[in-house]
Amino acid sequence: MSIQQLHDDLLRKSYPLFEDGLIDEIEETGEYRTFQANDVLMRKGQFIRSTMLVLNGLIKVYREDDEGNEFLMYYLKPGEACALSMVCAAKQEASPIMAKTVAETEVMLVPVDSMSEWMSKYKSWYQFVIETYRSRFDELLITLDNVAFRSMDERLEFYLKRAKDAQKTNTLEISHQEIANELNTSREVISRLLKKMEQKGRLSLHRNAIELKNL
């Protein structure tokens, strides 16, 4: 099977609602790329000239401020795209976010011009873009709810659940320090809260790993 054929399969599998003509155009004008785990795909301040369609793997999208604070906004799974890269690409603006792969990831880079052309040409693309905006907006609102209304133990629990769902595993390979960064708190706080949850039998702790039980 040719490489083109493989990419075509991946694209169709991840984006089953796309029309044949659209799939063809994506393959023609898009650029296929792979990234290793923990690669940084995009930095804050970088200019965006294309949108990423996730084919495989998993991406974490962060917000960063000027003092180096960061927090996790949401995950991007196959079949999804980053709404921000769409709007920034459309406006030729600098990215206000940072994106990092969680696992090995395959993406298709689509240039801005094609993007707006397809809006009127393919109903399925229009719907995909609208749906992307809607779901990213929703996820951002949920993140905002958590930061605004919830205490750190609730936020940690939500974080673990979301990581579990996104990574489809019960064993998260991550250090307390990394979790603290992504929740914008300190390592000690996370260690203490995790210890409490372990005592309640909800998870068990190992070096660089958290085994989720009753979550």
Q: Under the rule (CB under 8 A), what is the footprint of its own copies?
A: 63, 65, 67, 69, 71, 83-84, 87-88, 90-91, 93, 96, 116, 119-120, 126, 130-131, 133-134, 136-138, 140-141, 143-145, 147-149, 184
- The least distance separating DNA from the CB of residue 153, rounded to whole angstroms, comes to 6
Give the footprint of DNA on residues 143-182 (CB under 7 A): 151-153, 175-177
133 binds, among its own copies, DNA, none (CB under 5 to 8 A by kind): its own copies
> Helix and strand tally (H, E) in the chain?
8, 10
**Residues 96, 30: Cα–Cα separation, whole Å:** 24
Enumerate residues 6+ apart whose C-beta is below 8 A from 95.
42, 43, 44, 45, 46, 47, 48, 84, 85, 88
Give which of its own copies, DNA, none residue 67 binds (C-beta under 5 to 8 Å, depending on kind): its own copies
The distance of closest approach from Cβ of residue 92 to its own copies in the complex, given in angstroms and rounded to an integer, is 11
Task: State the DSSP H helix or E strand holding residue 203, giving kind and residue range, or none if neither.
Answer: strand 203-206
Residue 155 CA to residue 83 CA, distance in Å, equals: 24
Q: Print the binding letters for residues 176-195 with DNA: x by CB under 7 A, - otherwise.
A: xx------xxxxxx-xx-xx
Instruction: Identify what 3 binds: DNA, its own copies, none; CB under 5 to 8 Å per kind.
Output: none
Q: What is the strand order of the sheet 105-111 is part of?
A: 31-35, 105-111, 50-56
Give the residue with the Cβ less far from DNA, 49 or 192: 192
